[in-house]
A and B are shown apart, each in its own frame.
Chain A
Amino acid sequence: MKKRGFGIGCMSYGIGNTGLPNPAGAFVDFLDDGTVIVLTGCADIGQGSSTILAQIAAETLGVAFEDVVVVAGDTGVTPDAGATSASRQTYISGNAVFEAARKARQEVIAGAAAVLGVPPEEINLKNGRVWHGEEPTSLSIKEVISKCRSEGILTLGHGWFNPATTRLDPATGQGIPYATYAFATQVAEVEVDTETGIVEVKRIVAAHDVGRAINPQNVEGQIESGCSMGIGYALLEEVVVKEGEIQNPAFSTYLMPTAMDVPEVYPIIVEELEPTGPYGAKGVGEPALVPTAAAITNAVADALGLRFYDLPLTPERVVAEIKKSREKKEDDGQ
């Protein structure tokens, strides 16, 4: 028989570890032609940090995204940005790039103020142009850069960010461990075959508070992939170790989800702006995976009326639990 169930999983997850120093640095420089180069130690492993850092620099400097080149994760030339881990790079390297870009922006504004003969506080940079108050002027940012260059003035900035290191109390382990938190709720719908024990995930709705979604398509991609990893964690993936040796070191024995195992995922982005984040952003990498297995396991419990305490929910485990509960019912004379 096939039984359906729904389950919910909720989570909060710390972003920006404060127990130990956790800094990142960045350089931002305008080249002679008015394009921008960002140097960051932040390694983009596919999550899209280089795109996001380019967006932050472009927004801060008032130039087109296409005019920003990001040189990332090259220890020969880029400043340290710490690891791409702990869902920290958008928050931490994002702040470092924002700070570096803000300083370069001040240089450009000073140059523009000199050309226009107005106070720097009244100047804004937007859409490649210099603005005076709410009005665009005839002066482009590129013209300001070449003017500065002709006078030997460089328009660059460096920045770094470290969420205030607070250190935890060594005796109690108490303190303020993170600069901010991401929150999420996921709902899973499953179908369980009570004969074979196969659990099929039919749908996942995943609502994530990420602060500002600097690149919504990237955020969706992170959420969808987190759900897929969560499905693996809930149903498939188990490292079997015997006498110190991994017994299943191959994709045919350590199963991870294929396109056939992943249902439609409906990401919902909740933008609760984080005051200390770059443009209000936090992070989403790991949070996307955290609640999935709980939501699926709760959905299986809803379908079968049985609680599982070991993952993954392999067909063998599910069938064994169903059998155990049947036998128990018979023993109880039901």
Chain B
Amino acid sequence: MAAFHLEMKVNGELVAVDIDPGMRLLDVLREVLHLTGTKEGCGEGECGACSVILDGELVDSCLVMAPQAYGKEVVTIEGVAALGQLHPLQEAFIEAGAVQCGFCTPGMILAAKVLLDHNPNPDRQEIARAISGNLCRCTGYSKIIKAVEIAASRIKAEAGAASD
């Protein structure tokens, strides 16, 4: 099979790779770019462990064929911390004890980030809905929801301070 020339932006950087066109975005991220923070759980769009942000929307990267990402912008968990500074969501997850085995965590943080990017003021119900495509077996979700609440209030406070 002829190789597919894939160009996309990953975590802010332009990437050009020649790949098998049958590859999933998940495989390109993990196997070709070695961004192994993105996890494969079920491989069939049911667990959310492989979540990444594609042009601002949360997607299961196991359901996206790599060529579909051509010309698009991908954000993985590796791209969430800016300049060595953890994102407020990452800090809140640590603080709230929202990480146990950690397998769901990258997807959870990206799902929460997409939520907060669109809705800086979510209530508990909205948070639960936003992460309901991301399964977690370890935490029972309580501390994850708590972490998102903490991060939301910090981001709001920072934005308020910046605009003052």
Q: Chain A interface (Cβ within 8 Å of chain B)?
A: 45-48, 217-218, 220-221, 224-229, 250-252, 256-260, 262, 264-265
Residues of A within 8 A of B79 (CB): none
Residue of B nearest to A48 (CB): B100
| Contact (Cβ within 8 A) B141 A228 | yes
CB distance from A122 to the nearest CB of B (A): 39
Complex Cα–Cα for A257 and B134 (A): 10
Task: Choose among B42, B128, B139 the residue that contacts A225 (Cβ–Cβ < 8 A).
Answer: B139
Q: How far is the CA of A18 from the CA of B47 in the complex (A)?
A: 39
Q: Judging by beta carbons under 8 Å apart, are B137 and A45 in contact?
A: no
Does the CB pair B101–A262 fall under 8 Å?
no
B46 touches A259 (CB 8 A): no
List 20 additional contacts besides A217-B97, A259-B141, A264-B124; criterion CB under 8 Å: A45-B101, A221-B100, A224-B140, A225-B100, A225-B140, A226-B140, A229-B137, A250-B44, A250-B46, A251-B47, A257-B140, A258-B128, A259-B127, A259-B134, A259-B136, A259-B145, A260-B128, A262-B128, A262-B141, A262-B142
A224 touches B47 (CB 8 A): no
> Chain B interface mostly helix, strand, loop or mixed?
loop
Beta-carbon contact of B142 and A251 below 8 Å? no
Is B144 an interface residue when CB atoms closer than 8 A count as contact?
Answer: yes
Q: What per-residue 1/0 map shows which CB atoms of B133-152 lie under 8 Å from chain A?
A: 11111111111110000000
B104 to chain A, nearest CB (A): 10
B129 within 8 Å of A (CB atoms): yes
Determine the distance from Cα of A46 to Cα of B102 in the docked complex, in whole angstroms.
7
CB A237 to nearest CB in B, in angstroms, measures: 11
- Return A138 CB to nearest CB of chain B, in Å: 36
How near does chain A come to B147, taking the closest CB pair, in angstroms?
A: 12
Q: Provide the residues of chain A in CB contact with B102, threshold 8 Å.
A: 46
Residues of B within 8 A of A (CB): 42, 44, 46-47, 97, 99-102, 124, 127-129, 131-145
B143 touches A221 (CB 8 A): yes
A-side contacts of B129, CB under 8 Å: 259-260
Known: A217-B97, A258-B135. Is A229-B128 also a contact (CB below 8 A)? Answer: no
Inside 8 A of B128's CB, which chain A residues have their CB? 258-260, 262
Choose from A45, A221, A256 the contact partner of B139 (Cβ within 8 Å).
A221
Task: Enumerate chain B residues within 8 angstroms of A217, measured Cβ to Cβ.
Answer: 97
Which chain A residues lie closer than 8 Å to B141 at the CB level? 224, 228, 257-259, 262
User: A228 touching B46 by the CB < 8 A rule?
Assistant: no
Subset of 29 A-B contacts with CB under 8 Å: A46-B99, A46-B100, A46-B101, A46-B102, A47-B138, A48-B100, A221-B140, A224-B139, A224-B142, A224-B143, A225-B137, A226-B140, A227-B140, A228-B141, A229-B140, A250-B42, A251-B46, A251-B47, A252-B46, A256-B135, A258-B132, A258-B133, A258-B141, A259-B134, A259-B136, A260-B129, A262-B140, A262-B142, A265-B142
**B140 near A256: Cβ-Cβ < 8 Å:** no
Residues from chain A with Cβ under 8 Å of B124 in the complex: 264
On chain A, the residues within 8 Å of B142 by CB distance are 220-221, 224, 262, 264-265
Question: CA–CA, A303 to B99, complex, Å?
Answer: 35
Q: How far is the CA of A260 from the CA of B130 in the complex (A)?
A: 9
A221 to B138, CA, bound (A): 8
Nearest Cβ distance between residue B42 and chain A, in whole angstroms?
6
> In the complex, how many angstroms separate the beta carbon of B16 from the nearest chain A beta carbon?
35
